[in-house]
Structure 1
Amino acid sequence: MSAVIATRGLVKRFGRLRAVDGIDLDVREGDVYGFLGANGSGKTTTVRMLLGLVLPTSGEVELLGGRMPRAGRRVLPRVGALIEGPAHYGHLSGRENLSLLDAAGPGGGRRTRRTRIDEVLEQVGLAGVGRRPVKAYSLGMRQRLGLAGALLRRPELLVLDEPTNGLDPQGIHEIRTLLLELHRGGTTIFLSSHLLAEVEQMATRVGVLDRGRLVLQDELAVLTAPTGRTVVHSPAPELVRATLDGRVSAVDGERVLVRGADPAEVNALLVQAGVPVRGLALERPSLEEVVLAAAGTSPDRVEAVR
């Protein structure tokens, strides 16, 4: 697959602070790429450099095959973006804000504008309030309107920075469903977030940023692949250990880790020996475990459960 976003040795300094430290992003056509890191890790600075809003101190950025920021006029009409929360005119309606946004940017089409605005308002769940002044919108509604603006040009690439900020659980679910529908329709999505649970439900590839450095980048399926061990839940963990002599690698209460990737074989041995078993499963690391191991980050910096 061709690269949609590629950076080489990307660096951004602010005085003595090295906010982004030599990262090499690889986002491929058809990805839902989860760009993860704690708040303050450099994610938003990176996103702004990708779109040509901030110039890198050194390094290169390619977006849809064009060198940024030089190729911005050519490639940006093919990109939808939502960064650091949307900015709107509060006295205007959502529909009027979208119309102004479409008219101001490159690549908009006046003849299709009304239809496209109707479509995106429907997509983000604002069809019934599009004529209401934005100053009357909740934070979540403003976030939805920002996403509608990112979708106006029917982009090939969608770049989103914390798109579910301000949304309640139902709103988060609806945006997740929308993004997955867009992905199935061929849109490549670059999703910057600190919410691991949300990214784990959508991403095909993951990059982890920690204090400006890219410490991990791979397919999600590879990162969360089975470890080759079986998890046994039993009220008699010592009997499990005695029965599977030499194969038990760890015991934590009723949870026993057994070397071997065939739960059926492990279960047969335990049942034959009369050991009570409440459950068996292949051990798979969660995205939370993978990220925290790579970043050396405490759970309070990257939110894992939502």
Structure 2
Amino acid sequence: MSTGRLVTGSVPAPRHPLPGPPPEARLVIETRGLTKRYGAQAAVDDVDLHVRAGQRYGFLGPNGSGKTTLVRMLLGLVFPTRGEIRVLGHEVPRQVHEILPRIGAMVEGPAAYGHLSGRSNLDLLDASGPGRRSGRRRRVDDALERVGLAGVDRRAVRTYSLGMRQRLGLAGALLTQPDLLILDEPTNGLDPHGIREIRELLVELNEAGTTVFLSSHLLTEIEALCTDVGVVDRGRLVLEEPLDAVRRETGRVVVDTPDVDRALAVLGAAVVARTEAGGLVVVPADDSGAQGLAAHLVGAGVRLDALAPEKVSLEDVVVKLTGPGSDRAGERSGGVRRP
């Protein structure tokens, strides 16, 4: 499925650098009481979202939880029933024309004309944007090379695999060297190598100044890529935190050892669980923590492969806060919760 390596190390700066306060203080996406109703059904329900410049923000939730509807409202593709939206300092949808040239987006999968080549599709997309004709070839060349499609740019898109179409959609989002990337499932259909390449590209773009807002159901990708996370369930935002705060330490220690039976005999009731990989989850007996525990085990003749503080997983937090999908019955969540 992979058609080439992503080119890294030469990411251009955003076309419109964000002036003013430090990145950690600036909101590039903010919603207040954002709601979208379809009849009696609230697809998005009273959401207050906060995305700051420089973040890689992961937006998670079960199928049917309102993720894509909210993303479409951020881009002015769907009008809210009520509430406020500000993106890059402008009101949406009223001033959306002011910000679209500064945003790269891919929502609900990449759109393309199947009978045209990937290059021709990007030519048409660039022609509809703010870029001048004189620089179009260079912009298209750069976008194709960055997503690994330079070698197949003349092939008709109808011959592309799903992963190649995802790459083409991302190339279209990069044409304007955006200040803000809004992406909906950008790694869908990619093989493991392609997923890693896209992740590395997004990190590099972010480090060059582009804020990334990524909607996905792949928890492992969010954990590997994002600095902050928002979780939505049945239309309501139930968590919004830095990822490091979500994955906090539990106070327990994970011990990996080839001498499991001996470790169990030494630790006794201090062992409270086993990991999927066969390790032991231990509550240290005193304030000495992991260091004291290691010394105790080694002193008792137990060999150690690894010993580290246990952390809450993003998967555990999301499963606890959300249901399995849009067909779940029950009471609606009551607002933002902390893990």
Per the normalisation by structure 1, the TM-score is 0.90
Residue aligning to 2:98: 74
Match of 1:5 in 2: 29
Is residue 271–residue 280 contact of structure 2 (8 Å, CA) maintained in 1? no
Equivalent of residue 26 in structure 1, options 30, 47, 50: 50
Q: Give 3-state SS (helix, strand or coil) of 1:52's partner.
A: coil
Q: Contact 2:45 / 2:236 at 8 angstroms: preserved in 1? A: yes
Partner of 1:304: none
Residue 269 of structure 1 and its aligned partner are, at CA, apart by 2.5
SS at match of 2:311: coil
Distance 1:261 1:131, change over 3 A: farther
Equivalent position to 2:232, from 195, 204, 209: 209
**Structure 1 residues 279 and 143: CA distance shift in structure 2, 3 A:** closer
Q: Which residue of 2 aligns with 1:17?
A: 41
* Whole-angstrom CA distance in 2 between matches of 1:10 and 1:249: 46
Q: Deviations over 1:10-58 (max 9, x none)?
A: 1111111111111111100000000011121111001000111000111
- Equivalent residue runs for 1:280-291 within 5 Å: 280-291=307-318
Tell me which residue corresponds to 1:239: 265
**Which position in structure 1 is the counterpart of 2:322?**
295
Query: Alignment partner for residue 270 of structure 1, among 277, 297, 304?
Result: 297
Where do 1:36-185 residues align within 5 Å? 36-105=60-129, 107-185=130-208
The residue identity in structure 1 corresponding to 2:310 is E
Work out whether residues 104 and 180 of structure 2, in 8 Å CA contact, stay in contact via their aligned partners in 1: yes
* Structure 2 CA distance for aligned equivalents of residues 124 and 6 of structure 1: 29
| Pairwise CA distance, 1:151 | 0.4
Q: 1:235 corresponds to which letter in structure 2?
A: D
Partner Cα separation in structure 2 for residue 52 and residue 221 of structure 1: 32
Q: Which stretch of structure 1 is more off in the superposition, 197-206 or 268-277?
A: 268-277
CA contact (8 A) 2:264 2:271 kept: no
Q: Report the CA distance shift for 1:250/1:181 in structure 2 as closer, same or farther (over 3 A).
A: same
Structure 2 counterpart of 1:93, which letter? S
Segments of structure 2 that go 5 or more residues without pairing to the other structure are: 1-23, 329-339
Shift of the 109–235 alpha-carbon distance from structure 1 to 2, 3 Å rule, reads: farther
Taking only aligned residues, the RMSD between alpha carbons, in angstroms, comes to 2.1
- Tell me which residue corresponds to 1:250: 272
Q: Which moved more, 1:75-84 or 1:260-269?
A: 260-269
Q: Report the alpha carbon displacement of residue 279 of structure 1 after superposing the two structures with TM.
A: 4.1
Query: Which secondary structure does the structure 2 equivalent of 1:163 belong to?
Result: coil
Q: Is the contact between residue 22 and residue 213 of structure 1 (CA under 8 Å) also seen in structure 2?
A: yes
Unaligned residue ranges in structure 1 (runs of 5+): 302-306
CA pair 240-56 structure 1, distance change in 2 beyond 3 A: farther
Mapped contact 1:237–1:256 kept (Cα < 8 A): no
SS of 1:283's equivalent in the other structure is strand
CA distance in 1, matches of 2:233, 2:179: 28
Deviation at 1:249, TM superposition (A): 7.0
Instruction: After TM superposition, give the deviation of residue 261 of structure 1 in Å.
Output: 7.0
CA–CA separation in structure 1 for the residues paired with 2:273 and 2:263:
7
Sort the Cα spacing of 1:117 and 1:275 in 2 relative to 1 into closer, same or farther, 3 A.
Answer: closer
Structure 1: which amino acid aligns with 2:74?
A: L
Q: Which amino acid aligns with 2:297?
A: L
Worse-superposed segment, 273-282 or 13-22: 273-282
Give the drift of 1:209: 0.9
CA contact (8 A) 2:253 2:310 kept: yes
Q: What is the TM-score of this pair, normalised by structure 2?
A: 0.81
SS at match of 2:97: helix
Q: Per the alignment, in what secondary structure is the counterpart of residue 128 of structure 1?
A: helix
